[in-house]
Amino acid sequence: MTNRKSKLLIAIFVLAFLVLSCQNSGSGTNQTQVNSNQSPTVANEIPDRKWWKEAVVYQIYPRSFKDSDGDGIGDLRGITSKLDYIKSLGIDVVWLNPIFASPNDDNGYDISDYEAIMKDFGTMADFDEMLVGMHKRGIKLVLDLVANHSSDEHEWFNQSRSSRGNPYRNYYHWWDEEKGKPAKRWSFFDENADAWKYDETTKSYYLHYFSQKQPDLNWENPQVREEVYKMMRFWFDKGIDGFRMDVITFISKDTRFPELPEKYRGNFVQYYAEGEQRHEYLQEMNREVLSRYDIMTVAEGPGTTTENVLEYVGEDRRELNMSYHFEAIDLGYKDLSKKLIDPNGWSFLEFKKIYSKWDAVFAEKGWGTIYLGNHDQPRMVTRWGNDAPAFRELSSKMLTTFLLTMRSTPYYYFGDELGMTNIRFDNIDDYRDIMTINLHKLIATEGGDLDEFMESQKVVGRDNGRTPFQWDNSPNAGFTTGKPWLKVNPNHTEINAEAQESDENSVLNYFRKIVKFRKENLVLIYGKYTLLDQDNESVYAYTRELNGEKFLILLNFTEKEADTNTGLDIRNAKILLGNYEKPSADGKLKPYEAVILEL
């Protein structure tokens, strides 16, 4: 063989090898490109690296991000117009709440056509343009899969309710009236808390765990599952990079609908999350769809516990990649089903214990998530920090430091990078959220304490996290030229992106800095987590360790100075980052101080 020929052959081999090693070999086994600004030795010694483990996810509530056409509702073109801003944050993945056709009983969580775009949000062409714009910038897109239920305006349900003999009858859960009243099922959003709704046409009840306009799909019917998989393939073939799966833990049901077994009385969420076939369906979904694409999946996991979460996300299970739990976010409730809260009714020691316990679950297998805010939660700084003027910025940065230094994929909610706060409506008419509106009706009917409910809503009402993004100090915060669908927080005159852009020490620029810092330090992603000084009532202290590197993170969760007692010698430690101009080097922390040290 001539020299030229052999060179050519080698080149072909190398090329073929590269092509093959870049191809997907299915979820759970693929090795796609991961960020590696780290030294190659460190990077090479980490087993099982995955892009979604190293990603920072930025969640956008599309209704409230940016309105491009003046109808007061955020839309896809609005998002596209802000892609450079999104890119500037340094995040890797955008998770969008549902953008599919919907009558908006629950802001898109009631889908009437899974393969069409909601009119308020634009068209499929707008979607395609947005996706191209994201991918061009290296941003991945995760959509919301809402398949436990559809809208009652979905064609399947129109058919299903039209007659008992309709071929779609079995797409939903029906209980014929001659069988008597069905056993009680509790609804999250119904004004009578009743998950069975009587339908005159066929003289039967249908099941709806959420609102009356969100009938539960019957996953026990294989045709339903095939429809869902087909729809998922449609979006994956369009190029999306994953799904966040709405209440996916609730999909399997005992269709005999017995009385709630004794052990679940008072905890119906747990019952809903323990349907017998749930893992069978998720494994089937993985086989049929997920394993065929290089994508990420995350379960919304109400009812998951540290004991059972690995059944969903353990690699050997071939189900999902990640799940998010409610154990910490639900601290402080006096009555969760009525959303009654005591804002100070949670213990900081418990908070630290919960996060430590969840970290331990994933020490060997699986992978965790972390979040302090989303579209179902109030603003992070109001709930977990302190939004008084003196502490708002500091505590926002401190909480951001927490989220970005734990060993789980952070899900960061849009607006938290500005330190946006709860709006605290006084009047029920200001709320748009079906959950708040219908709980108000329920409590009124039951003769409960409405004042207490309204006070609780100021703390935990979902609309607090849904007010429009604060771009600038103009009327409506630069969100829309029309009338916003939900009031803009009046504090946008001070808290807004434009003002923070030019301020080097803003919450926004701190977020950018720490996102970059996390991505440059694999120890923050993969390093072992150890809780220190666990009985400290003010400070969250932990180390992260990887291949000889050791970082110490100290977070003061109070408005008073606080001491730490980690037992570590930090005299020679190097200060890497902090939220004060002069970070403390001696373990004595200023109010809401966050500091990262290298030992």
Residue 376 lies near ligand TEU (rule: CB under 6 A): yes
Q: How far apart are the first and last CA of the chain?
A: 58
Please name the residues in contact with 160: beta carbons below 8 A apart, sequence gap of 6 or more.
166, 168, 169, 170, 171, 172, 174, 215
Q: How far is the CB of 144 from ligand TEU (least distance, A)?
A: 8
Angstrom CA distances, 304 to 269, 317, 358, stand at: 10, 16, 11
In what helix (H) or strand (E) does residue 198 lie, and over which residues does it extend?
A: strand 196-199
CA atoms within 13 A on the CB side of 300: 21
Residue 326 lies near ligand TEU (rule: CB under 6 A): yes
Q: Closer CB to ligand TEU, residue 140 or residue 466?
A: 466
Q: Which of 54, 300, 359, 433 is catalytic?
A: 300
Please name the residues in contact with 434: beta carbons below 8 A apart, sequence gap of 6 or more.
105, 106, 189, 211
Residue 96 lies near ligand TEU (rule: CB under 6 A): no
Of 119, 112, 125, 135, the C-alpha closest to 231 is 112
When binding is defined by CB under 6 A, the residue of 121, 172, 188, 592 that contacts ligand TEU is 188
Query: What is the arrangement of strands in the sheet containing 196-199, beginning at the earlier edge strand?
Result: 174-176, 204-207, 196-199
Q: How far is the CB of 250 from ligand TEU (least distance, A)?
A: 8
Residue 146 lies near ligand TEU (rule: CB under 6 A): yes
Q: Closer CB to ligand TEU, residue 282 or residue 507?
A: 282
Q: Closer CB to ligand TEU, residue 217 or residue 497?
A: 217
When binding is defined by CB under 6 A, the residue of 58, 61, 210, 551 that contacts ligand TEU is 210
Q: Name the residue whose CB lies closest to ligand TEU.
A: 109
Q: Closer CB to ligand TEU, residue 95 or residue 540?
A: 95
Q: How far is the CB of 302 from ligand TEU (least distance, A)?
A: 4
Angstrom CA distances, 98 to 70, 117, 226, 563, stand at: 21, 9, 20, 45
Of 429, 419, 424, 426, the C-alpha closest to 386 is 419
For the four alpha carbons of 172, 178, 179 and 180, in that order, the dihedral sign comes to positive
256 CA to centre of own chain: 33
Residue 269 lies near ligand TEU (rule: CB under 6 A): yes
Residue 57 lies near ligand TEU (rule: CB under 6 A): no
Q: Closer CB to ligand TEU, residue 315 or residue 376?
A: 376
When binding is defined by CB under 6 A, the residue of 67, 246, 294, 593 that contacts ligand TEU is 246
Residue 118 lies near ligand TEU (rule: CB under 6 A): no
Residues in the chain: 599
194 is catalytic: no
Q: Closer CB to ligand TEU, residue 75 or residue 463?
A: 463
Q: How far is the CB of 155 from ligand TEU (least distance, A)?
A: 19
Q: How far is the CB of 154 from ligand TEU (least distance, A)?
A: 14
Q: How far is the CB of 80 from ligand TEU (least distance, A)?
A: 24
For the four alpha carbons of 470, 476, 478 and 483, in that order, the dihedral sign comes to positive
Using CB under 6 A as the binding criterion, the count of chain residues that bind ligand TEU stands at 14
CA distance linking residue 233 with residue 227, whole number of Å = 10
CA distance linking residue 31 with residue 274, whole number of Å = 32
Residue 428 tokens, joined: 């029920």
Q: How far is the CB of 375 from ligand TEU (least distance, A)?
A: 6
User: What residue has token string 């179902």?
Assistant: 376
When binding is defined by CB under 6 A, the residue of 122, 182, 275, 302 that contacts ligand TEU is 302
Residue 338 lies near ligand TEU (rule: CB under 6 A): no
Residue 186 lies near ligand TEU (rule: CB under 6 A): no
Residue 142 lies near ligand TEU (rule: CB under 6 A): no
**DSSP notation for 234-252:** HHHHHT--EEEETTGGG--
The residues pairing with 594 across neighbouring beta strands, listed in sequence order, are: 555
When binding is defined by CB under 6 A, the residue of 145, 247, 497, 597 that contacts ligand TEU is 247
Angstrom CA distances, 386 to 235, 378, 415, stand at: 40, 13, 16
416 is catalytic: no
CB 322 within 8 A of CB 299: yes
CA distance linking residue 160 with residue 156, whole number of Å = 6
User: What residue has token string 């056709």?
Assistant: 101
Q: Which of 152, 246, 294, 417 is catalytic?
A: 246
- Most distant pair of Cα atoms in the chain: their distance: 93
Residue 592 lies near ligand TEU (rule: CB under 6 A): no
Q: Closer CB to ligand TEU, residue 204 or residue 436?
A: 436
Q: How far is the CB of 316 from ligand TEU (least distance, A)?
A: 27
Residue 106 lies near ligand TEU (rule: CB under 6 A): yes
Residue 100 lies near ligand TEU (rule: CB under 6 A): no
Q: How far is the CB of 286 from ligand TEU (least distance, A)?
A: 22
Q: Closer CB to ligand TEU, residue 153 or residue 376?
A: 376
Q: Closer CB to ligand TEU, residue 146 or residue 562?
A: 146
When binding is defined by CB under 6 A, the residue of 61, 65, 100, 109 that contacts ligand TEU is 109
Q: Closer CB to ligand TEU, residue 146 or residue 522?
A: 146
Residue 153 lies near ligand TEU (rule: CB under 6 A): no
Active site residues: 246, 300
Residues contributing to the site for ligand TEU (CB under 6 A):
106, 109, 146, 188, 210, 246-247, 269, 300, 302, 326, 336, 375-376
